Structures are given as C-alpha cells and as structure tokens.
Structure 1
C-alpha cells in the first residue's frame, strides 16, 4: 500500500480523495483505493447504520466515523478561508448526536396506489419511502407511518411535508394538499389527537390554513416562549443551537448594546446580555419576536437588510453585532460593518464559502478574525455551519 492509493481526505461533495488525486464515492480517510476503483475499508470507515444509505439524500457521510466527520468539517472551513487568503484558529467541531434533528422537510407522492413519504434520493426527484431514520428526533419520525396513512386518503399528486418539534409537540405543515370537507377535517383531527400533534396546517397553494391547534404553538429561545409560525426557520438541533449561542455570547462578551442582524425568531437576541436591537426582513418572524419580547430589552424592527442594511452611522452606536445571514451571506451589510467602529462581531454562517468572502471584507476593513468553530447540526451530511469571532485590534477585551 502506498500513499498514492490511500484515501487522504474527503472532498466537499463527500468523495474520498486518494494521494494520486483519484476520487472514490463513499470512501473514508485510511481506505485503500485499488487500480480497478474498488475500496478496501480502513480504520475510519464505519458500517452505515441506516438501511436507506447511500440512496437517501438525507445523509452523505454515514460511512465516516466521528473523527473523520469532524475532520471533514474542519477541512471545509480551512479550505474556504485559505481560498480567500485568510487563516484563523479553528476550534474542535461541535457535533450533534444522531436522532436530534427537530425540523425537516420530507417529500410525499402518490405512486402505484400508495403514498411514499421521505427524503429525496440523492440528486433525484425520486423519494425514499422512510422505514427508519437516524437523524430525525424520534418524536418526528414516529409521525411518518401514521402521516403516510393520512395522506393516502387525500393526496392526489405530490406534496411537501414540513415537520418541526415545538414546545407543545410536533408541528406539521403540508404544502400541496387540498383536504376539504367534513371527512378531511375529522381525519386530520383524529390523526393530530392520536399522535400528539401540536398543530396541523395545510397550504393548497394560496396560503397556510391551520386545521388543528388546540393551544398556541411556541418555541422556547433563550428561556422565552416565542410564537412559532408554521415552517419557521430554527437551528436544526438543540445541541447546534446551544453551541452557536454560546459562541456568539463569547464573541461579544459583556456588550451592553448589541445589534442582532437577520435575527429571525430571536435565537440570539433573546440570549444576549444588555439591550439588543433585532433586525429581520421576514414579517412572520419579526411579529413573533415582538410578541415574545414585550417587557424585555429587545427592540425588533422589520427591515430588509439586503436592500437597506444598517449604515455605518447606525452601526457605530453598538458595542457588538451578531450576524446570522442566509446562505448567500451578507455582502451589503458587511461593507457597512467594515467601515464602522463596531469593536466586536459574532458571525454565524451556514455556508463556509460566503462566510470566507465576507470575512475577507471585514479583515480588509481592519477587523481580526480571532477564531472559528465548525458546528455539525446536519449529521452525516456535507452541510457545514460555523460561528466566528471578529474584533478590532484596539478594542477592549470582550
């Protein structure tokens, strides 16, 4: 065996890469790649636990052990920074355990007289009819079989099923389902009551219609129950949320006045010290945060931060900024931040590429990238999240 034949790393899309540059699907570091393309498993190649792997698109890396998955997250981030000419201390990744995902979107389709319900096949519109799942919280997976039976009565084509674990239990939204009439109402109520569902809503294509919600549905963020709009964005696992919040708090220190930009429902705003301005462009999210934050030092504003980012003059009021943009990053807002006098920034990202691009702008504006921590919320996937701390060299300690 030579280094040329040994898998040395895992590429961004999950292929193993040998020392001679050859790629092999579902290969782990330490595996040996033969001339004919066959793979001999090495010390980091584990037996995938789920029967649906590798067809199911919910996971791409179940063949990696914990150590090599953590290294994959580290390398993705290091490569993104290197591509922008940056470097920073990268902390050990925070990994969410199996079966902890509290939100997911499944596909549903009537096919051959029955309904399929599950994740898509990798790079395909075909569906895996889930019989087991090693990433979903068991309380969500327990809905799959009874929900399949319910949809079998009313679904005519395809639908999307959003599952979220709220304070009151599972929250279900089915897009593409028109379940009208007394029979449908009774079936939905019976399903929800029998399975402990907190809310059941449908969207036939013209807006969300709540069909079952015996009490208002909430999600607790920072110790505060926040009204939860259907299919709202949440951090994927409680463990991932806790890691990101802890990193943000560490990055901003004891700031007395902080701006939380792209604040969503208040995952960070409700967990930060001092007074917090919370800017968010999604109406449902900002209205929920306003309802939850009454009497607390959180000041939400409905604001499109892509079209109307906080200006340098506005930013200069704050002792710290928490930034949690969508996958595309926050180029417009980062340009204003780079020109501001804000001393500390916590940047939360779900895309190492757009993060590294924005980090370069901040560093060129005089910030220092102090550290980065990868966060693996989407277990066994190639998806990488992170939290990073920026500071100005002349700013006081956090």
Structure 2
C-alpha cells in the first residue's frame, strides 16, 4: 500500500525526508519539494512514483541507478548536488560551534574512480558480479558504471570469469579492483580456501589476461607485474588490498592543499600515513616522519623512499595511533603536521596535537562529523582555522572529503 508524501529536505545519506504520523520517513531517490507516493516500512519507504517533480530532478547517468546500492544522488542537478555536499561540511562545523567560511566543493568528474569493491557470488545460473542493493544482501549484476575508470568497466566480463575461478564458497565474497600503472590489481576477500588446481588455473588466467596481480585474503597468488602508483614523483608498489584514495584527482588536490600549507615546515609528522600519499610528496622539500599502524603499508612507503631520489629524509614508525597517539612532547619536535585518519577520526591524537607547539597543521578527513569534533579540540587548544575545503571523490554518494588548515603561534619556552 502506498502513501502520499511531500519531501521537506535531504538527510545526511541523501535520502529525502518527509514528515508523517509517527515521525520522519526517509525515502531514497527523492528531492526537496517533491510530492511522491511510497510504500512505508516504519521510518523508511520505497519510492513508487513521483507525482510532482522538483525542477532540480535530472535523468540519471546509469541504467543501474536506484538498484545497485552504489550511487544515491544521480537524479540531483549538478550544481545543487555540489552545494548540498558543501553544506554537509558547513553544517557539521556549525554543530560544533565552529564559525568558518567553507570553500566551494572541489568537484569530481565521472569515470575517474580507480578503486572499486565488487561483490560476487556463485548461483545456479552462473557467477554474479556487481554491487549489493541498499539494505539488502542481493547482488545486482552490472554492465556499466559511470563513476569508474573505463579500464574497470571494460574488464567486467573477465573479472566475472576470474571470480568464478577463485570462488570456493557458496557465500558472497568481495573483489577489490584497483587501476595501477601496471594494470589491474585484484584483491579477493572471503572467497574460501583455494585448492592447488584453482591456484594454477587462476594464475594462468591472470597472466593470459594481462592483470598485474591476484591476491586472496592478503596472500599473493600470482604477480606478473608489481602494481605501482605514483605519489608525486615517487613510484610506490602497493601491498595487496592497500588503502588508496578513490580518485587520483582528489588525492592530488588534497596533497596540493596540504603541501602548500606545510611548505615552510622543515620537519613534518605525517600521522595515519598509509602508503605515503602525503609523506612522499612532502619529502620533496621537508624531512618527514611517517607514522602508520599497518605494517605492509608502512613497508611500502619505506621501500619507495629508499628507491627514490631527490627526497629529504623520511623515517617511519609503526604505531597504533588510536591506542598510543604521539604525545604533545613528541610532536613538539615538528614544525608541521598532517593527519588523515579513518572515518572514526582522531580524537585522542587531536588532544595531544592541541597541547603541542606545532605551528602548522593540516587535518584531512572523509567524515565531516568527526572532522568537526577533532577541529573543535584543536581550536580549544589555541589553533586558528584558516580554511576548510570540501572535496568530492565519491561522485553521487553522500560521502565528502575535507581538508582543514590550521595555525598556532609558537609558544615561548
């Protein structure tokens, strides 16, 4: 049974929100001002029809939109979409009492995502490869993906064939595909234990199809070519399943903002350094101490530095910054700092930064809410917020990156 709703605004996940008996109802794929019919299930509803469309409604770019569980906002006019994403960051700052002008959103082009996580499962009719429908376990097989690099889309059939070769489970599993300078790097998770014959057949397939590497649950099965990406002038060989910013353009934008802000610093701390996307660029002008909890990522960073030329000294430290953040006394040895934590943010580390004398700080985040919390800590510790730049690298999703730049005058000792 469908009910008529009027959409008041968009929620944090991009769903339209309507008022109804019993509270608010979240209706995906709707826009403010629209009148729609939807089938309600408690506080959520499935869109049935749009009776009165918003003038900001546009035709989606993909045939799989509304089904595949990936994009949430392909129906939203581009400029309005960008304003909405910018406002997400501004709203999170206001909620923490932070008054700061937020720069215009740095937009994301289509066909630029270089790292995609597919879901796969063997069925009676064949191998499914695609994305999981929202709030469901159903895998929607895909034939196109306008957010992804063409190299990934062109390889959908062979990736589906590879998924069938490595599948050793009746359950769904994941396949992370990364475009590198050497070709596609494929990391499979939870596909089951491969037998020797499976390994041999999968290895032959990878080599015949020109893929760079196949790993299963972190173990390299075959690596015809070392998967390599560029961080500035430095080539980095990625470990299996390594974190990598979703688009190269967004990574370069973030690195440019951070590098310009820290250009006067002679000694920089890079916290949550990953494989070195900031550290190795910053080392062109400054000494860098890179701190990261993931051992393979840190080893890749260190190896890249040792084989590079023309860089200042880079030191590495394996350390869980959630359990053991760098203390303010340790931080006082640096005159610049960048931190780029996971979505949970860096609350405890921010408390130590706030007590430190580091004059230049760059905070990078994929979560406006935890970024605002961490910035509040830094501001209360005497830092001044110079700028906040939102960056879109997850096109047509509610996710938004941001780079915040801060300064603190040196305290006399």
TM over 0.5: yes
Give the RMSD, CA atoms, in angstroms: 2.3
Aligned partner of 2:264 among 247, 254, 277: 254
CA 1:8–1:242: 2 relative to 1, 3 Å? farther
Superposed counterparts of 1:231-310, under 5 Å: 231-272=241-282, 273-294=285-306, 296=311, 297-310=313-326
In terms of fraction of residues, the more strand-rich structure is 2
The answer to whether residue 77 in structure 2 is matched with residue 65 in structure 1 is yes
Q: Which residue of 2 aligns with 1:345?
A: 361
**Bigger mean CA offset, 134-143 vs 327-336:** 134-143
2:396 equivalent in structure 1: 380
Task: Compute the displacement of 1:115 (Å).
Answer: 1.3
Shift in Å, 1:34: 6.2
Q: Residue 219 of structure 1: CA displacement? A: 1.8
Contact 1:338 1:367 (8 Å CA) reproduced: yes
1:44 counterpart = 2:56 = yes
Q: Displacement of 1:154 after TM fit?
A: 5.1
1:365 equivalenced with 2:381 (yes/no): yes
Specify the alignment match of 2:46 in structure 1: none
Matched, 1:199 2:213: yes
Instruction: Indicate how the Cα distance of structure 1 residues 82 and 39 shifts in structure 2: closer, same or farther if over 3 A, else same.
Output: farther
Which residue, 201, 204, 208 being the options, matches 1:187? 201
TM-score, with structure 1 as normaliser:
0.90
The 5-angstrom pairing of residues 316-335 of structure 1 reads: 316-335=332-351
Match of 2:120? Answer: 108
Match of 1:15 in 2: 15
The equivalent of 2:135 in structure 1 is: 123
TM-fit CA distance, 1:210: 1.8
1:172 equivalent to 2:186? Answer yes
Contact 2:166–2:202 under 8 Å retained in 1: no
Secondary structure of the 2:235 match is strand
Moved more, 131-140 or 148-157: 148-157
Report what 2:176 is aligned to. 162
Counterpart CA distance in 2 for 1:40 and 1:25 is 16
2:224 matched to which residue of 1?
214
TM-score by length of 2: 0.87
Contact 1:146 1:191 survives alignment (8 Å): no
Gaps of 5+ in 2: 39-48
Size of the aligned set, in residue pairs, is 385
1:27 partnered with 2:39: no
Q: Give the Cα–Cα distance (whole angstroms) in 1 for the partners of residues 79 and 6 of structure 2.
A: 17
Structure 2: distance between partners of 1:359 and 1:106 = 34
Secondary structure, aligned partner of 1:90: coil
Query: Where in structure 1 are there 5+ consecutive unaligned residues?
Result: none
Q: How far apart are the structure 1 equivalents of 2:51 and 2:326? A: 52
